[in-house]
Structure 1
């Protein structure tokens, strides 16, 4: 190291070599310009570093002919130093800007902030997962993960089923009612929709009975180059409508209804993708909800907060009901085969 410093400070250069070093410093000036304008987002004349860097080399020669090499070395090192600092600074600024934009987005769409309790719960869950992993690793029982992970999945599906699972389970139990023979309580009906109170969708401004609006953010392409999207906001809003079959018509209060079909009626792509799905006049749909009496007139609505209230495409329901028993049999067989394999592994 000392020899290198001596080489930089004790080897004099002549005027021709100094001019060559000044010309070489123009390449360094290009990187400096890119770093300070791109990473630090500073505003300055484009020619600034193309004057400053050669000037530093030239002035160092005027001070001492042994200094230009040291000046060039410092300019060269400065490129790497400011590039690293600039990347850190740019990352911090981008994070702040993303936070501001996300807060504006949440405020616009009335998305509640994550509460302090939810954050603490998340920390405890993550800590519990890591703690379990470390404990099993130290006790050389990592193989137990083959039992723990499937166990969590089974318990989650049993005790915390999704809304779609509840809907599918209930529709498989309930008989489809004719509208003129609806009894009070949970019912399922099937028929054409009739518009009562049209509403306007939020992005494409389409009149409809109801809409499911979704905003998705583009994710990084996967290994195959395919672009994926993650949902950052969704909203369902449905007005009052009627559903009719060959026996009659019944009114539905659409507040709180969930859409259990994957149709997309309007979509606009880009870095942020907007999609809308509509309930429209004359759509033939399958509905599960709570039938109640409203001033002597039957109305289907949400009922209690825990009640299932959803709508789906009949042919999808028929297809699922036809092949679900086969799928269940396959999954049960696969589950017991997996238990046998796990037992052999852990033995």
Structure 2
């Protein structure tokens, strides 16, 4: 057993505060969990370590290692979650844009290929998955393009907007009001989704719930965005709704019904193309930059506030992961007070399946 000594406990408590920082960044930045209070993990992690030291001293070191490893597990789960969400979004875009069937089938074959690689490479495939998830988060998609241009474009006032790619913000005003189907709310536009609810129970009696979207309806007509200088008409064809929270959600008879609404009270930020149409200016999808999105302004500001910390955290996690991988895969043995690092036969390692030891058991 790995027991924490009294001399090293204060150091590990301070180290647990660093772990709490990563837990906070991952929960808020990747999982979008609103921690209340925001410093909650800075209490939970040190308390777990201290309680382990007091009540299970012989296992206290193992619990500390568990806290440390949980950072990587949470980060990997978060990346996988974002990767799955990005894949679902891409699939919806393909269906909406009537992507050729051969491309969708090709994507399915790639998924099958990845499945086979997992069984051939075993645990080493997690490193490939980790790399591909990070790479996919950097590749262009609607959300990435929106936030890329949002960080580089200045916010234009509507009165002085220049033609071409632009960023504007203001309140939405309906030209023709639409009515949401579930709550009969007058609004500028809505997305109405129906999810099928699946409930499962594990061997310990814990219940988990998952949701599978079975229908989606969007209704939005031309509308205006107004700021203190004027207004401009928005043509909502191909408009992507980003970071919207459900304004209404209810569950009934094994299904969940949700509404996402563009109202006339919230400030929104839009990125698209300002274009002369006849004698007036309109705002529409930019075919050259392939971007046209709308997001609540407070969510965009929150994302910009946390982005530097998120990037630092991901960079640090990457270095820690590389260093940890080096330690895990490098043969090390102790001879007296000396640590001897042996040469690793990487060719033999990657030719063998690391799950073999488990299968033999």
Shorter-chain TM-score tier:
0.5 to 0.7
Aligned residue number for residue 229 of structure 2: 247
Aligned residue number for residue 290 of structure 1: 273
Offset at residue 331 of structure 1 (A): 0.6
- 1:327 matches 2:275: no
Aligned residue number for residue 264 of structure 1: 246
**CA–CA distance in structure 1, aligned partners of residues 242 and 184 of structure 2:** 22
Q: Normalized against structure 1, the TM-score is what?
A: 0.59
Residue aligned with 1:327, SS: helix
Gaps of 5+ in 2: 1-94, 331-361
Gaps of 5+ in 1: 1-109, 137-141
Offset at residue 211 of structure 1 (A): 0.6
- 1:230 matches 2:215: no
**CA–CA distance in structure 2, aligned partners of residues 184 and 113 of structure 1:** 30
Residue aligned with 1:298, SS: strand
- 1:154 matches 2:134: yes
**CA–CA distance in structure 1, aligned partners of residues 248 and 227 of structure 2:** 28
Is the Cα contact below 8 Å between 1:176 and 1:188 reproduced in 2? yes
Residue aligned with 1:244, SS: strand
- Bigger Cα Rg: 1
**CA–CA distance in structure 2, aligned partners of residues 268 and 345 of structure 1:** 47
- 1:163 matches 2:142: yes
Is the Cα contact below 8 Å between 1:236 and 1:258 reproduced in 2? no
Residue aligned with 1:192, SS: strand
Q: Can you list the C-alpha shifts for 1:16-45, whole angstroms capped at 9, x where unaligned? A: xxxxxxxxxxxxxxxxxxxxxxxxxxxxxx
Aligned residue number for residue 110 of structure 2: 125
Give the number of aligned pairs. Answer: 232
Change (3 A) 1:255 1:198: farther
Aligned residue number for residue 313 of structure 1: 296
Aligned residue number for residue 342 of structure 1: 325
Offset at residue 329 of structure 1 (A): 0.9
Change (3 A) 1:233 1:112: farther
**CA–CA distance in structure 2, aligned partners of residues 248 and 145 of structure 1:** 55
Which of structures 1 and 2 has the larger relative contact order (alpha carbons within 8 angstroms, sep 6+)? 2
Offset at residue 156 of structure 1 (A): 1.7
Aligned residue number for residue 8 of structure 2: none
**CA–CA distance in structure 2, aligned partners of residues 335 and 171 of structure 1:** 26
Is the Cα contact below 8 Å between 1:212 and 1:259 reproduced in 2? no
Q: Normalized against structure 2, the TM-score is what?
A: 0.57
**CA–CA distance in structure 1, aligned partners of residues 250 and 201 of structure 2:** 21
Offset at residue 119 of structure 1 (A): 6.8
